[in-house]
Amino acid sequence: MITVEQALGIIRQNIPPAQFEKMALMESLGRVLVEDVFSDVDMPPFDKSAMDGYAVRSEDIQSPPVELEVLEIVPAGSMPTREVKPGKAIKIMTGAPVPRGADAVIMVEKTKYEPSTRTVRCLSTIKKNANICFKAEDINAGAKVISRDTKITPQVIGLLAAVGKDKAQVYKYPSVAIATTGDELVEINQKPNGAQIRNSNTYSLLSQLVNIGMPVTSLGIVRDNIEIMMEKVSAGLKSDMLILTGGVSMGDYDIVEDVLKKLGVRILFDQVAIKPGKPTVFGIGPKGQLVFGLPGNPVSAFVITEIFIKEALSLLCNDAGIKNRIIEAELAAPIASTSNRQQYLGARILQDGLVEPIDGHGSADILFLSRADALIIVPPDAPQLAVDSHVRVMVF
Ligand code: AMP
Ligand code: MG
């Protein structure tokens, strides 16, 4: 049986080359840039006032109070028409161009305007250059402002907008289809009876993918019947990635792997030394599609998605942020369970950097999973772990 690291290695080796697309700025939020971005303007584009106040010659007001004649008012968006000469001032708003002759802006709070004489009384001294943002002090026209491989966050969107990028060249997201298999499954608006259970996997899986911005379609519930499954899987293979849940164990009706092989999917592994999720299947479709068969148990399907599917997606989209962070933490409670497989145990991060394992009843216990915000990674054949042991933790 291959290890988790070997399985990840096989996935990494089989990721098809990244694809790119051009998107409208707002659609590109969350994507990763393919191109360096350069500014087409200086920022600020002109010497601009950082305050509402009066543009003055600093030397004129070295012995306050000083009266200056107010020549005009310059709102943001207007050009000054006059020059500040000795004894003069120009009223100026934040963001307006500083008039010729002025070398500082005194804020309005430190002045008093006298309408009858159209003069302003300056009540304090000011240093040369005070409250002026100089042309190009932030960015020079032509300078690189964002490097390729940067993730487009709201902060980056603001910069892209400022440099006039109304479209961005980004890594294309794969199309993803999911299908869940099982004769026992009923939809969530139905009350299960007899041997039935509700289909929860479709919804946890959809939300795991939607949460990272992935476009995903659900093919719904597929019955454990070769012909029906062939039809659904064929439809699913039109996507770049197909994820199936259930039907990969050793039961008589676990036919997913057979169906995949019949449809030309090359199986690259079908067992991993991982707990939960040992029977996980990974293969490559005839057109290079990535195909995952996850165990049907909800906790297994969830955990394998966090580990293997997010690895594949992060490489396809060149976005390490899709993967969960791995941190080191101290155990707040002991871990008694041992295994020859690598374990991923549901856990909660406590405020003080401690991590607390959550007791569950195994890979169907969806209640305990709902309380977890992390997985403690226990290597294969690790001894029982005492309180205060250092462990690696995957944080959702
Ligand atoms: P399987 O991997 O098909 O053998 O299923 C393993 C267990 O997971 C069984 O108890 C199934 O009933 C359960 N299961 C399979 N698919 C789902 C699903 N979509 N939602 C919830 N439980 C499921
Ligand atoms: Mg099944």
Q: 160: helix, coil or strand? A: helix
Q: What pLDDT is recorded for position 328?
A: 97
Ligand 2 center–CA 9 separation, angstroms: 28
Q: How far apart are CA 131 and CA 104, in angstroms?
A: 6
Q: What pLDDT is recorded for position 146?
A: 98
Q: What pLDDT is recorded for position 298?
A: 96
For 7-13, what is the mean pLDDT?
A: 98
245 near 296, Cβ under 8 Å?
yes
Residue 241, pLDDT above cutoff 90: yes
Q: Give yes or no for residue 305 CB within 6 A of ligand 1.
A: no
Encode pLDDT of 98-142 as tens digits.
999 999 999 999 999 999 999 999 999 999 999 999 999 999 999
Nearest CA to ligand 1 atom 17: 296
Peptide bond into 154 cis (omega under 30): no
Q: Give yes or no for residue 363 CB within 6 A of ligand 1.
A: no
Peptide bond into 75 cis (omega under 30): no
Q: How many helices (H) and strands (E) does the chain have?
A: 8, 26
Q: How many CA atoms lie within 13 A of 277 on its CB side?
A: 30
Structure token pair of residue 269: 């592994």
Ligand 1 atom closest to the CA of 200, numbered from 1: 20
Buried b (16+ CB within 10 A) or exposed e, 296-330: bbbbbbbbbbbbbbbbbbbbbbbbeebbbeeeebe
239 near 287, Cβ under 8 Å?
no
Mean pLDDT over the full length of the chain: 97
By most ligand atoms within 8 Å of CB, the mutation choice from 198, 245, 255, 370 for ligand 1 is 245
For 206-234, what is the mean pLDDT?
A: 97
Residue 3, pLDDT above cutoff 90: yes
Pairing of strands 53-56, 111-114: unpaired
Q: 395: helix, coil or strand? A: strand
Encode pLDDT of 300-335 as tens digits.
999 999 999 999 999 999 999 999 999 999 999 999
Q: What pLDDT is recorded for position 353?
A: 87
Encode pLDDT of 161-201 as tens digits.
999 999 999 999 999 999 999 999 999 999 999 999 999 99
Encode pLDDT of 69-97 as tens digits.
999 999 999 999 999 999 999 999 999 99
Nearest CA to ligand 1 atom 23: 296
Q: What pLDDT is recorded for position 352?
A: 82
394 near 324, Cβ under 8 Å?
yes
Q: 226 — phi, psi (to 5°)?
A: -55, -50
Query: 10 vs 14, 267, 371, 379, CA distance in Å?
Result: 6, 11, 32, 19
Q: How many CA atoms lie within 13 A of 299 on its CB side?
A: 24
For residue 391, what pLDDT band results from cuts at 50, 70 and 90?
Answer: very high
Structure token pair of residue 33: 């840039």
Q: Give yes or no for residue 185 CB within 6 A of ligand 1.
A: yes
For residue 16, what pLDDT band results from cuts at 50, 70 and 90?
Answer: very high
Ligand 1 center–CA 324 separation, angstroms: 25
Strand order in the sheet with 266-269: 216-222, 176-181, 241-245, 290-294, 281-284, 266-269
Q: What pLDDT is recorded for position 333?
A: 96
Burial of 180 (0-12, 13-18, 19+ CB in 10 A): buried
Question: What's the pTM value of the predicted model, to 2 decimals?
Answer: 0.91
Burial of 217 (0-12, 13-18, 19+ CB in 10 A): middle
Encode pLDDT of 275-285 as tens digits.
999 999 999 99
Ligand 2 center–CA 344 separation, angstroms: 22
The amino acid occupying position 5 is: E
260 near 247, Cβ under 8 Å?
no
Encode pLDDT of 329-388 as tens digits.
999 999 998 999 999 999 999 988 899 999 888 778 899 999 999 999 999 999 999 999
Tokens 């909660």 appear where?
348
Q: 151: helix, coil or strand? A: strand
